[in-house]
Structure 1
């Protein structure tokens, strides 16, 4: 697939610093994410092809593969109250749909199937916390085609951030489908009158590490609550330090494959395990890490159902 990076630069002109775009493009791996990243001294076992093949064979031999596929295609809708300090009466009860880790190109049937399930839900705004695609390099057209099915049922404003699987070259295409991608940027969430919520979104903090939380919060109106979108919970310390009140994440898949009792085999995130799924808190920062709607490495899940999350915004008591 050929890319027109000059057209990309023109499209993003005024939104991104030139050095940031250059660094993002330079870091995008031509051959996929490495098993060992010499830039950060990080080991990524999920990128070992032989490990994926071996796991698939083992599951098939044990008669568990089809069961895992059925699990991965069974979506759970979770409801969560997200408490924000200083939330206005007008924004209390605002419903925010969070979708994470679609990896929509893993299974061509996934996009239409998820769209059909979302058709029965209702929300005020939607956020997508990264990883639209499974592949980390090459042609992203299959992921865009799959997401197009989903985008048709996403009512209201839709905001997204990029994950470690996503190329910045996808941004014009995603925005052409009605999804505003936040790249170290923020927007006003709510109506145009009175006090709202500052919705900030940053680039991937796991692999690309081009996230800039202070920049995303820079235009936040005084005393407005700030809700941050970050692909991985690994940015929790920086988020709290920068003054974010809450953070919505994904990336971990909750382990995707868990032992009985809910113990994940792998979370692929440098943070406390309790931050890798569901609601959590660190100092004054409220967090929620979705286990994701899709699957990666293999299209299976065990003891970790796929999910979308309906967050209801509620006021946080002053002493909390």
Structure 2
């Protein structure tokens, strides 16, 4: 046996072991990423936005922000966790879309939201409410290529009707004003700007100056629309869509955002000019990408307090 053959004989078993090890590591990583889908977190943030006296002696106005349920029938852990959020006694529930990930999931969404639908609420939808998910090339995210929707219709009209029947406001291309307790709210929203379904001209202009709290709703935090809200004087925008980055590096550092917002503001509370902007991590994922790395699913309780005089 020549020297080359001897070296090859030694290397081949090592290469085989390395390949097996790599497969095992990949399988382990996938299993961990999938298990993270059920480790829900509640984020708790205090934001001073209300004028002095607006709370009439109460310590805070509790706004619960939920987004991106991406519900599939049988997700009992998610259903129970979301339903239990009612124990937070939110004054207002804001839902920024992508509730569905299956054509049969509307009853599951309604079970999950359950008692929250008895509280004041407002919502806008995302494209995954309108059209079903589809298998896509994962490199499209890394290359920042916009995906074409499947255009497979989901029963979003039934879900919308159920939300409205329970008293929630649809803010899609509407300006909505209502009062919760002593807090006067002026809200406006657009349809999903990620796929250019928005038409800001339908809601443009400053919010009612007699309001105590002005809210801007949009599914995807696209800067071109956020800029319009900020210029009109809205205090707080609420959006989802990014899943917080979903497949992140340690420290929840996003690799991509899947929209126009920068990676530093892909999740949590940030400034967008003079406006505060909250981007939710979301509570689900596409059924075709059932993994989260260093970015657990979450809802957020925003404790809105009075500003100092």
Smaller-chain TM-score range?
0.7 to 0.9
Q: In the TM superposition, what whole-angstrom CA distance separates every residue of 1:62-119 from its partner, at most 9, and x where no partner exists?
A: 3222222221111101111233253642276110111011101286435533345425
The yes-or-no answer on 1:160 pairing with 2:123 is: yes
Q: Are positions 1:103 and 2:70 aligned together?
A: yes
Is the alpha carbon distance of 1:191 and 1:263 closer, same or farther for their aligned partners in structure 2, counting shifts above 3 Å? Answer: closer
Q: CA deviation at 1:59?
A: 9.1
Q: CA deviation at 1:61?
A: 3.9
Aligned counterpart in structure 2 of residue 243 of structure 1, from 219, 224, 233: 233
Residue in structure 2 matched with residue 174 of structure 1 by the alignment: 160
Contact 2:190 2:217 in 1 (8 A): yes
Task: Indicate yes or no: 2:265 matched with 1:268.
Answer: no
Q: 2:28 aligns with which of 60, 63, 66?
A: 63
Output the CA distance in 2 between the equivalents of 1:59 and 1:129.
Answer: 38
Equivalent pairs counted in the alignment come to 256
Summarize deviations over 1:228-284 as a string: whole Å, max 9, x none.
111122132121122211101111011111112322222101122222111110221
Mean CA deviation greater in 216-225 or 234-243: 216-225
Q: Which residue of 1 aligns with 2:175?
A: 186
Larger Rg: 2
Kept in 1, the 8 Å contact 2:65–2:94? The answer is yes
* Aligned match of 2:111: 149
**CA shift in 2, pair 1:171/1:162, >3 Å:** same
Q: Retained in 2: the 8 A contact 1:201–1:216?
A: no
Deviations 1:27-70 (A, max 9, x none): xxxxxxxxxxxxxxxxxxxxxxxxxxxxxxx7984322222222
Q: How does the TM-score come out when normalised to structure 2?
A: 0.72
CA distance in 2, matches of 1:102, 1:315: 31
**What SS does the corresponding residue of 2:128 show, helix, strand or coil?**
coil
Matched residue, 1:311: 302
Per the alignment, residue 253 of structure 1 pairs with 243
Q: Specify which structure has the higher proportion of helix.
A: 2
Confirm or deny: 8 A CA contact 1:202 1:213 kept in the other structure: no
1:1-320 aligned within 5 A: 61-84=26-49, 86=51, 88-90=53-55, 93-105=60-72, 108-109=75-76, 111-134=78-101, 141-154=103-116, 155-167=118-130, 170-177=156-163, 178-191=167-180, 196-212=184-200, 215=203, 220-222=208-210, 224-234=212-222, 235-296=225-286, 297-317=288-308
SS at match of 1:113: helix
- 1:76–1:305: 8 Å Cα contact kept in structure 2? yes
**Gaps (5+ residues) in structure 1?**
1-57, 135-139
Quote the Cα distance in structure 1 between the aligned partners of 2:28 and 2:185. 49
TM-score computed with the length of structure 1 as normaliser: 0.70
Give me the CA root mean square deviation. 2.9
- Segments of structure 2 that go 5 or more residues without pairing to the other structure are 1-22, 131-153
Change (3 A) 1:295 1:87: farther
Q: Distance in 2 between matches of 1:202 and 1:122?
A: 27
**Mean Cα displacement is larger for which, 166-175 or 201-210?**
166-175
Answer whether contact 1:80 1:312 (CA < 8 A) is retained.
yes
Cα distance in 1, alignment partners of residues 204 and 107 from structure 2: 29
- From the superposition, tell whether residues 256 and 127 of structure 1 become closer, same or farther in structure 2 (CA, over 3 Å): same
Residue pair 1:101, 1:129 contacting (<8 A) in 2 also: yes
The answer on whether the counterparts of 2:254 and 2:266 sit within 8 Å (CA) in structure 1 is no
